[in-house]
Structure 1
Amino acid sequence: MQLPYTTYLIDLDGVVYRGETLVPGAKEFIAWLNTTHKKYLFLTNNSFASETQVLAKLTRLGISTDQTHILGAGQAAVKNIARRFPGATVYVIGEQPLIEMVQQHGLQVASLDAHKADVVLVGLDRTFDYKKLTGAVLAVRKGAAFITINRDPLLPVENSYLPGCGTMTAAIEAGSQSKPEMIGKPEPTLLFEAMQQLNSQPGETVMIGDNLGVDILAGHAAGTHTILVLSGNDTRESLARATVKPNHVYENLAAIMDLIHTAEPTSHTS
């Protein structure tokens, strides 16, 4: 089978790399996307690392790409807010890269003492405190749109975990008694923003991920094709038990490259 897609949305951790190690086939697959002029974006749910930081890691690991091929859920959230609430005042729970991103999109950042805003945007904030919680809760209770980048309760760090974006979101949700809108996977908004950026339609797009309940579920919700690679979170055993099923399953990106190389000799006669 050849790959009939024009557009590739690619998860990072568990697909392209694991920690500081490239997954087999990753460098070759990205080189193929570049040389065949495919449309692609790396998608990450990360709510605090900027696209510049993601690019620095990819470059360090030997992946040849650029920042135009990276879309984080934080950037997608800010783009979504700027389009829906142009010029809005945003109460930001987040770190400096997220604050700067909000400002760069023509939005106003509310003072932490303000208890009113058009939008409350929640990302990972390692200085989250009672003052910020109060401001966010009161702003939502007064009618602000409540948007969170993701609902991951924990942030994996070396040999441990830290409270994630979802933990802060849950605190604001409890105080405001309002349910947030989520931008990151498994909700489809990140994929919709990616396809809009690439001028692509779901029928020509494939989501490649390692997590059935996050990446593949997001692909289903957005109406794209889906490929599960077994180089990260899920295994053939968990796939057999799961109700969420991908369109195709491969061991890793190297297995996809094997398929591409096998199909190439006959690609001009089909």
Structure 2
Amino acid sequence: MLPPYTTYLIDLDGVVYRGETLVPGAKDFISWLERTGKKYLFPTNNSFASEAQVVEKLNRLGIPAGKEHVLGAGQASVRNIARRFPGAHVFVIGEQPLIDMVIAYNLPLAREDASDADVVLVGLDRTITYQKLTAAVLAVRRGAHFIAINRDPLLPVAGGFTAGTGTMVAAIEAGSGVTPQVIGKPQPALLQEALNLLGSTPEETVMIGDGLEIDIKAGKAAGTHTMLVLSGKESRESLARSPIKPDLVYENLGAALADVLE
């Protein structure tokens, strides 16, 4: 029987939808959360799609979520900086949506040479230059806090892959000799920001995901309960081989809901 959690952190790809198709029972599960007054949030490592784009996709697939239900690793990173280092000058390796987010949180942008940077924030930047990379390396060497949205080395695109955020993070790490704080899963910071946003504790929360190495590992690191659904990356066979063991396992969100309603 599904325990009486108050808060649900739910991964998207492989849990709620696969591509443009809803996973069986996902819509009914979210409706049940709404109907019973549960708190829920979709924490995503995606630093490419904005929260608004994720919400638009959910709405298009028939799930009436709002922006308050989605927390991307980019926004979580900026929230983390604003809370810990209010007024810090931030040097951004990233694209305009991330820069706009830093400004929206009243954090001043550092100079182009990062000479005044208190924090170096690294996200996906498809126009990164050697000068910008060098500025980031030198700022971190001078003592600026080094924060990475995620360490995903590759970004899937039509026809293959392109370099992901993790590639840029690795270059700055190599040049500075400093290991960054990573916000995205499997590190716990994204989930901790989500709990902070919802006003929940780990003890009353379950992290639901389809990946043992990403979602379940993140939940355990953040101290939440964990639920693996087998509608995405994992199978019974991969679960049996893995040292990472979730608290609960269901075929999909529909099966989890059926367990609640029995």
Q: When the two structures are superposed, what TM-score results if normalisation uses the length of structure 2?
A: 0.97
| C-alpha separation in 1, matches of 2:8 and 2:115 | 41
Corresponding residue for 1:120?
A: 120
Corresponding residue for 1:74?
A: 74
Amino acid at match of 2:59: T
Q: Which runs of 4+ in 1 moved over 6 A?
A: none
Corresponding residue for 2:170?
A: 170
Displacement of 1:112 in angstroms is 2.6
| C-alpha separation in 2, matches of 1:165 and 1:67 | 24
Displacement of 1:261 in angstroms is 2.0
Displacement of 1:111 in angstroms is 3.0
Q: Does the CA contact (< 8 Å) of 1:49 and 1:97 recur in 2?
A: no
**Could you report, residue by residue, the CA deviation over 1:177-228 in whole angstroms, capped at 9, with x for unpaired residues?**
1111101111111111111111111110000000001100011111100000
Corresponding residue for 1:255?
A: 255
| C-alpha separation in 2, matches of 1:93 and 1:60 | 31
May I ask how many residue pairs the two structures share in their alignment?
262
Structure 1 unmatched runs, 5+? 263-270
SS of match in other structure, 1:240: helix
**Could you report, residue by residue, the CA deviation over 1:158-185 in whole angstroms, capped at 9, with x for unpaired residues?**
3411111101100111111111110111
Displacement of 1:232 in angstroms is 0.9
Displacement of 1:2 in angstroms is 3.5
| C-alpha separation in 1, matches of 2:86 and 2:101 | 14
| C-alpha separation in 2, matches of 1:159 and 1:21 | 21
| C-alpha separation in 2, matches of 1:185 and 1:114 | 27
| C-alpha separation in 2, matches of 1:240 and 1:41 | 29
Corresponding residue for 2:211?
A: 211
**Could you report, residue by residue, the CA deviation over 1:82-116 in whole angstroms, capped at 9, with x for unpaired residues?**
01110110000111111111011110112333344
Corresponding residue for 1:236?
A: 236
| C-alpha separation in 2, matches of 1:160 and 1:257 | 36
SS of match in other structure, 1:83: helix
| C-alpha separation in 1, matches of 2:62 and 2:96 | 28
| C-alpha separation in 2, matches of 1:19 and 1:140 | 38
SS of match in other structure, 2:77: helix
Amino acid at match of 2:121: L
SS of match in other structure, 1:193: helix
Amino acid at match of 1:248: L
Amino acid at match of 1:193: E
SS of match in other structure, 2:231: coil
Displacement of 1:132 in angstroms is 1.4
SS of match in other structure, 1:179: coil
Q: Does the CA contact (< 8 Å) of 1:212 and 1:244 recur in 2?
A: yes
Q: Does the CA contact (< 8 Å) of 1:42 and 1:71 recur in 2?
A: yes
**Could you report, residue by residue, the CA deviation over 1:212-260 in whole angstroms, capped at 9, with x for unpaired residues?**
0110001111110000001111111110000000001111111112112
Displacement of 1:18 in angstroms is 1.1
Corresponding residue for 2:223?
A: 223
Q: Does the CA contact (< 8 Å) of 1:125 and 1:165 recur in 2?
A: yes
Displacement of 1:11 in angstroms is 0.5
Map residues 147-158 of structure 1 onto 2, 5 A cutoff.
Answer: 147-158=147-158
Corresponding residue for 2:179?
A: 179
Amino acid at match of 2:61: L
Q: Does the CA contact (< 8 Å) of 1:116 and 1:138 recur in 2?
A: no
Amino acid at match of 2:79: K
Amino acid at match of 1:214: I
Q: When the two structures are superposed, what TM-score results if normalisation uses the length of structure 1?
A: 0.94
Corresponding residue for 2:4?
A: 4
| C-alpha separation in 1, matches of 2:87 and 2:138 | 21
